[in-house]
A and B are shown apart, each in its own frame.
Chain A
Amino acid sequence: MQSNAKYLALFLISFFLLPIKAEFIGEISLDNRHFFNDGALGQDNNHSSISFSPEIFENLEDDRIFHFKAKLRNDNKDTERNLVDIQELYFIEIGESKEIKYGMSKEFWGVTETSHRVDIINQTDTTESFDGEDKLGQPMVKVSLEKNWGNIDLYALLGFRERTYSGDKGRLRLPVLIDTDNPIYESSAKNKRTDFAIRWSHYFDEFEVALSHFSGTSREPRLMPSAKKLNHLTPYYEKINQTGLEALYLIGGLALKLEAIRRSGQGDTFSAATAGFEYTQVGIADSRIDLGWILEANHDDRLSNSPFVVGTRLTFNDSYDSQILSGMFINEKTEEIGMLIEASRRIASCCMISLEAMYFDDANEDNGEIKLFGPFKEDDFMRIEFIYYFGE
């Protein structure tokens, strides 16, 4: 994080020294999470944070784009949740049916909604939110080619970002602390290793497909007992090979989705998959409200049981873009249910407000199974977030 802050400072200085005509925008977000129960490990019940994300975007010429976006976050309880990250700092050179991107960036792969199996380019910032959707910037060189037979993306990933974990005073954390200061790498190059990835994607009318392969340091570490610190776990980042498949098929308003991976290099070779569908009822009961349904099942060779998820998305189609998302994570074997509800709307043209609540239910406290949500059973929470956007 230190070196990241240094680069950011350097960059900002150079930016203001070299005046260029660009679009300068950003957002400031205030959020508060209220936990209904005392933390299982004595953590506080109210956690607030402030985030600041400045962004610069410029079309330098017709065939070159510059983009910069940083994210700075300060948490009032958990220092591990403080963040200085360059999310985007790249140039794109545009050619005829090809482009080259170099710098820090984020890249998303995948089709499913509730879990992202294939997505692997960026490291996850688990402290931002529970869902794993928030990522850290990754240094890369990416070459994209558009061919008659599909799009090819080739990646050289320069260096490695460690996963963030909640600290001692944080909530939604494992009962044992993660020693993020002393990660272990399988590669002798440690976090300086260059990883490679390739992805082919194409579509045939209503059918979308992508195949990808990643060879490099796993973004997801295995957690090992620490040799340095008592009662700590150490992230162990191994070299893996992962092949991924994404498929989507539209039948009318119904989208069938599949994501599957096969990964070797982390103990036994394993497979994992998420499959399901998304269906939208447009204008329910003669109103202008759309109701979307999401049903997704999960499988992971490493787990005895994976949850399936039922979700709904109410889109009000009003001038405030009001939305309510809900999800239920059902783990049959361990008899656990997790429930999530998320509502958001715009307030004037500058601001958004969102509410999020999460509830973990354990029907049978001791049924001899290892509980998936066990560590979080005291962590039911409600979160309110206010975002202010600045710049045009």
Chain B
Amino acid sequence: MNYTNQTMKIVSYFALFLSLTLSSSLFANRGLEIALLSDKNNEGYGDSSSTMTMELISKKGDVVTRELRFKRLEVPEDGDKSIAVFESPRDVKGVAILSYAHKQEADDQWLYLPALKRVKRIASKNKSGPFLGSEFSFEDFSFQEVEKYEYEYIKDESYLGKDCFVIKRIPLDPYSGYTKQLAWIDKENYLLQKIHHFDRKSFHLKTQTFGEYKQYLGFFWQPHRIEMQNHQNGKSSVLKFEEVFFKQGLTANDFSQNSLKRSR
């Protein structure tokens, strides 16, 4: 009997310990919970092809436009694959970037230069630099796998009339250009509405907003307008998705190095 009692005691202590750690970890990871629910929106799309324009807006309001095409393939067990092909300006027409995202390790990236017919492996760690001269960095363009951040729930706040969660995420990658990000995620559909990006000096450098969400395939929400405002230099960039098609039957074959070379 004594023996059983002791076992019971140990078991109950263990259960108490387990429930304590679980609840405290749940409490600390409410941010992660929200991030995971938000990330669910990126699942199940299969593949997508889009044409987009990017407007670079100077402090004075002058606008220059870039056009690009973007293909994406969902790879559930690892990160997604994508090809971005530049259409304009003319001197970069046909330049393309192939990316294989990974949940844990650094992404694999190749750049294709059509004038030289050269495929060049590029260091994905150099991701904090500007993308195509815009206020977006390469990092803002790559897939933001949940595993690559640490999360913390901050507060509830209304943004543009939508009830939102505000969560803090800290990039785990030391090569990230950001020390932290604050993300506004709406409570209805768990869609990203706004991100404040803080640079290495913890200065609120940029604000990214997501708008014109449209639903595809009956469940997949795609923003058609993403804007990045740089508070330091007064410039902004607007990415507009002109056309988006889903489930076009793309396969890994369309995301190989050979397909990168013929991607224009």
Interface residues of A, Cβ cutoff 8 Å to B:
25, 27, 57, 65, 92, 94, 96-97, 99, 106-108, 110-111, 133, 144, 146, 151, 201, 203, 205-206, 208, 248, 250, 252-255, 280, 282-283, 288, 290, 315, 317-321, 346, 349-350, 352, 387, 389, 391-392
Contacts and interface: CB of A to CB of B under 8 A. Distances in A.
Interface stretch (B118-126, B155-163, B181-189): B118-126
A144 B258 contact: yes
B247 interface: no
Interface of B: 56, 58, 64-65, 88-93, 105-106, 108, 116-118, 120-121, 123, 125-126, 128-130, 133, 175, 177, 253, 256-258, 262, 264
A205 B108 CA distance: 7
B123 A349 contact: no
Identify whether the interface residues of B are mostly helix, strand, loop, or mixed.
loop
A252 B125 contact: yes
A92 B128 contact: no
A108 B120 CA distance: 11
B126 A107 contact: no
A349 B130 contact: no
Contacts of B92: 321
Nearest to A290: B129
A97 B123 contact: no
Nearest to A101: B262
A278 B106 CA distance: 18
A260 to B, nearest CB: 18
Pick the most buried of B108, B130, B177, B264: most chain A CB atoms within 10 A of its CB.
Answer: B130
Contacts of A96: 253
Contacts of B175: 252-253
B129 A151 contact: no
Given A144-B258, A282-B129, A290-B129, A208 B89 contact: no
B141 to A, nearest CB: 14
Nearest to A208: B121
A97 B133 CA distance: 34
A112 to B, nearest CB: 11
B105 to A, nearest CB: 7
Contact of A57 (B116, B118, B264): B264
B123 A255 contact: yes
A248 B129 contact: no
Contacts of A346: 89, 91
A321 B125 contact: no
A94 B253 CA distance: 10
| Of listed A201, A253, A319, residue having the most chain B CB within 10 A | A319
A317 B258 contact: no
A308 to B, nearest CB: 21
Contact of B177 (A283, A315, A318, A321): A283
B125 A253 contact: yes
B64 A99 contact: no
Contacts of B116: 108, 133
Contacts of B256: 97, 146, 151
Contacts of B123: 250, 252-255, 280
B205 to A, nearest CB: 11
A277 to B, nearest CB: 11
Nearest to A352: B91
10 contacts: A25-B90, A107-B117, A146-B256, A201-B257, A208-B121, A253-B175, A318-B133, A349-B64, A350-B90, A389-B93
Contacts of B88: 349, 392
Contacts of A99: 258, 262
B262 A92 contact: yes
A349 B65 CA distance: 9
Given A253-B175, A290-B129, 8 more contacts: A92-B262, A144-B258, A146-B253, A250-B121, A250-B125, A290-B126, A346-B89, A387-B91
Contact of A283 (B65, B105, B117, B128): B128
B129 A283 contact: yes
Nearest to B116: A108
A208 B122 CA distance: 11
A329 to B, nearest CB: 20
A94 B256 CA distance: 12
Nearest to A205: B105
B197 to A, nearest CB: 14
A349 B90 contact: yes
A317 B133 contact: yes
Nearest to B233: A288
A346 B88 CA distance: 12
A317 B126 CA distance: 13
B231 to A, nearest CB: 14
A248 B121 contact: yes
Given A92-B262, A94-B262, A203-B121, A282 B64 contact: no
A252 B91 CA distance: 30
B133 A319 contact: yes
B93 to A, nearest CB: 7
A320 B91 CA distance: 11
